[in-house]
């Protein structure tokens, strides 16, 4: 599987180079993909995991917040087990890293009924990318997902709140991204869901009991995510 993944990566980069050199744009390779530094072993592992999960009906893409479900196996199985779920979250991923992972083709054999995607907070946290640029990256991810998994429903989640209050600069940047996402989801025929109220009080304040570092979820945070997702997920999976 390691050899196969490396071959797919090399092939995808060669295809992209050919498209760029001729001035043409591939419908599946819209940006120069790049692997998340330090995450090669996880990317290889996820390719292997996906190869063994061809029956997955529910697939999650995201960053460390999604990967963190692996610390809550009992809750994961209780909430999602009936859907044969597959967690493809990678710590540190930004929008371009998800595009890279899709471009490898390592997941193309999957035939999920629903793909849930939440990405973008690291574009803010690592570089304070402009909201328009983050939203564009998410739009391109949905383009790739639609092309590679045409049978799947897509569910785009708003970037979860971070920082203690609504005035936190990181949260404000993500809020500006989120404002652009309903229209992007609609353009792709994707479901849109903002779960912020599941994690904050009525003033939008985050508690460290929900997100200990005001970014990553505690066990209580994952329980809240599961509860908030339960009804819409059951509807989408019908």
Between CA 116 and CA 127 the distance in angstroms is 24
User: Given this model, what pLDDT does residue 21 score?
Assistant: 33
Contact between residue 153 and residue 195 where contact means Cβ atoms under 8 Å apart = no
Residue 148, C-beta contacts closer than 8 angstroms, at least 6 positions apart: 28, 102, 107, 108
Q: How confident is the chain (238 residues) per 10-residue block, as mean pLDDT?
A: 45 38 39 84 98 97 98 98 98 96 96 98 96 95 97 98 98 98 98 98 98 98 98 97
Contact between residue 73 and residue 104 where contact means Cβ atoms under 8 Å apart = no
User: Given this model, what pLDDT does residue 31 score?
Assistant: 55
Q: What is the pTM of this model?
A: 0.88
User: Given this model, what pLDDT does residue 26 score?
Assistant: 39
- Distance of alpha carbon 30 from the chain centroid: 17
User: Given this model, what pLDDT does residue 212 score?
Assistant: 98
Burial 166-187 (b: 16+ CB within 10 A, else e): eebebbebbbebbebbeebbee
User: Given this model, what pLDDT does residue 32 score?
Assistant: 61
The dihedral of CA 29, 194, 107, 3: what is its sign?
positive
User: Given this model, what pLDDT does residue 34 score?
Assistant: 87
- Distance of alpha carbon 76 from the chain centroid: 17
Domains of the chain: 2-236 (3.40.50.1110)
Q: Which residues are catalytic?
A: 64, 213, 216
């Amino acid at each position: 599987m390691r050899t196969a993944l490396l071959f797919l990566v090399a092939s995808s980069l060669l295809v992209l180079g050919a498209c760029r050199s001729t001035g043409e744009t591939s419908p599946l390779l819209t940006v120069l993909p790049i692997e998340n530094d330090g995450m090669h072993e996880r990317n290889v592992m996820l390719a292997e995991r996906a190869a063994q999960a061809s029956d997955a009906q529910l697939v999650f893409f995201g960053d460390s917040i999604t990967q963190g479900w692996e610390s809550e196996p009992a809750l994961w199985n209780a909430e999602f087990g009936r859907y044969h779920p597959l967690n493809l979250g990678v710590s540190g991923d930004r929008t371009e890293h998800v595009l890279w992972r899709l471009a490898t083709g390592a997941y193309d054999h999957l035939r999920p009924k629903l793909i849930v995607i939440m990405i973008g907070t690291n574009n803010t946290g690592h570089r304070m990318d402009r909201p328009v640029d983050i939203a564009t990256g998410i739009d391109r991810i949905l383009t790739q997902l639609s092309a590679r998994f045409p049978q799947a429903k897509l569910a785009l989640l708003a970037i979860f709140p971070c920082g203690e209050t609504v005035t936190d600069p990181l949260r404000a940047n993500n809020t500006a991204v989120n404002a652009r996402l309903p229209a992007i989801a609609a353009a792709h025929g994707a479901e849109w869901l903002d779960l912020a109220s599941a994690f904050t009080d009525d003033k939008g304040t985050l508690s460290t009991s929900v997100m200990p570092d005001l970014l990553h979820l505690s066990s209580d945070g994952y329980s809240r995510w599961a509860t908030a997702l339960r009804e819409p997920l059951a509807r989408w999976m019908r």
